[in-house]
Amino acid sequence: MHISATVIASAVLVACGGGDGSITLKPDRKPFPLVEATVSGFHAAMRNGDVSCRDVVQGYLDRIAAYDADATAAFPNSPGLHSVITVNSAALARADELDRSFFATGTMVGPMHCVTVLAKDNYDTFDMKTTAGSLALQNNQPPDDAYTVQKIRAAGGIIIGKANMDEFAFGFTGSSSVGGKTKNAYVPTNSAGGSSSGTGTSIAASLAMVGLGTDTGGSVRVPAAVEGLYGLRPTLRLVSQDGIVPLAHGQDTGGPLCRSLPDCALTMDAMVGFDTSKYSGQRTAKAWDAPLVASAAAYDAQTSRPASYTTTLSADGLKGARIGVVRGMFPTATAANQLFIDTLNAALDKMRAAGATVEDVDIANRTTILTGYASLSSYEFRDDLTAYLGSWASSGDGHLRTTEEVAAALITLEPTRVANFNTYVTLGTNKEANPIYQNNLKPRDEYVIPRVQAALDNKDFTTGTSKGAAYDVLVYPVLQGFNSTSVNSGSNNRLSPFTGFPALAFPAGFVKATNASPSVEPVTLEMIGRAFAEPTLFKLGYGWQSVTTARVPSPLAPELAK
């Protein structure tokens, strides 16, 4: 299930600026500011000799120590975010390797040179255990990296730690037996979303430069929504699933969470690519029984991705764009959520001002699409987890080998969670004979995809008659109201996984928190495009980022005094 995952310390040097000889690190340099730092700003400072890789890695490790754990005598003001499960003990050594190379040659090993990454703890890492938040997987030490992690390291990225998550990616509560309950980076009593809760909170709190999440039914976009981040759920089949603890192979995908969209584009460049693994999920069609693509050439032809997603970023990306607003996916206005709706509408007005055509649209049989079908996770988890656990020998780490063995271990290790876990085991047993599961395979695809495609094409679904020019994307809110102790996710999150189309969550604005906190909280929109339309999402998303000041730093994790 895995690929070779040796850290590439001697990666081929790639010119990333400089390249004209050695660079001198200034001995009197000032501390590099890490709050809201971007990759481009960091790399520019490196080329100027203002910061080293060790400076930045140590700085993020210091921030994790200061803000993530519960308050101690050393850190009496820590908010105790509980967003990071473990840190990488080899991170500083890798930083030193990159520094020796860079300052001697003036070149970076790749476009993610020393970009610090926090990966959700369901991504395999050869140098850290992968627990999926469960004590039952506390011995789970994969022999190599997930495909995406290996590619990020090869591009120069440093996985500085593993992020907390909803245990086994079950739900949106942000709680695990290994990491505890993740707090929200803006209002700590509010939900951190899920299941990529730790990734969302850690990136919002600037505990790393970028983060990796996974999304089966909303687990990238919901944390992005409650943390004011950009969160991309890529097209199903684009990103390899190899080496990621599965929830449902028919809906799973990995995706980035970032404070700045160019950083997400850079991360996606490293994550994508043809994977020869039989567990890649890179099929020739969305259909569950479609064959895997046979070659890199076939993968490239299918995805039609650019050489770099960063080339699709355009400051005036909204100019001339056509955006269909699915008003039926907005919440009903009440006194409690009027400000929420006003913030969404203000963002749409700003898009119009930036040159976009923004029109209301609906999706045929939308209610049936969003509430009449079910996620595949309850049915596919049992067999998928067993396949993952059996993909390497347990002689070295002694990890459990089947879903049933995990269930048995939970009785002692996590008795409060075993009942929920066993529900997934029961529903996944003999799923091929389950009519609900079967209805959510080909019948669901045949019902949902043409209707969403018709809305994007701006055609009447029944007659095929054109209603006007096609839309680039459809837009709707991620959530159904302000966040609170329990995230108000609704069912909008289902549109992307049910179609397999890519969707980008992006901050519409920040408003005064609705409780007694002096903080603010984010309001977030989502845009969905056609299959493999990531370039369109990046173009329009960066067009939005260029005309807004929506992002607000987390008040719980200010710059550390140096």
Catalytically annotated residue among 83, 101, 120, 162: 120
Distances (CA, A) of 137 to 80, 131, 163, 181, 536: 24, 5, 15, 18, 39
Q: How many CA atoms lie within 13 A of 172 on its CB side?
A: 26
Tokens for 557? 């994790």
3-state SS, 17-30, equals CCCCCCCCCCCCCC
Distance, CA of 212 to CA of 206 (rounded, Å): 14
Catalytically annotated residue among 83, 219, 280, 489: 219
Tokens for 429? 């047993």
**Is 151 annotated as catalytic?**
no
- Burial class for 433, CB neighbours closer than 10 Å (0-12, 13-18, 19+): exposed
Contact assessment for residue 421 and residue 290, using Cβ atoms and an 8 Å cutoff: no
Helix (H, G, I), strand (E, B) or coil at 514: coil
Q: Please list the residues that pair with 326 across neighbouring strands.
A: 361
Contact assessment for residue 556 and residue 205, using Cβ atoms and an 8 Å cutoff: yes
| 161 phi/psi in degrees, rounded to 5 | 175, 180
DSSP string across 441-470:
THHHHHHHHHHHHHHHHTB-TTT--B-SSP
Tokens for 241? 């699933």
Helix (H, G, I), strand (E, B) or coil at 426: helix
**Is 120 annotated as catalytic?**
yes
Catalytically annotated residue among 52, 191, 195, 391: 195
Tokens for 535? 């370039």
Q: How many CA atoms lie within 13 A of 384 on its CB side?
A: 26
Distance, CA of 511 to CA of 552 (rounded, Å): 10
CA angle 430, 436, 442 (to 5 degrees): 100
Residue 494 parent element (H or E): none
Sheet containing 158-163, strands listed edge to edge, beginning at the edge strand earlier in sequence: 84-87, 158-163, 116-120, 210-214, 254-258, 230-233, 503-512, 520-528, 473-477, 322-326, 357-361
| 536 phi/psi in degrees, rounded to 5 | -65, -45
- CA-closest candidate to residue 282, choices 240, 234, 235: 240
Distances (CA, A) of 330 to 325, 341, 351, 479, 547: 9, 8, 18, 9, 23
Active site residues per annotation? 120, 195, 219
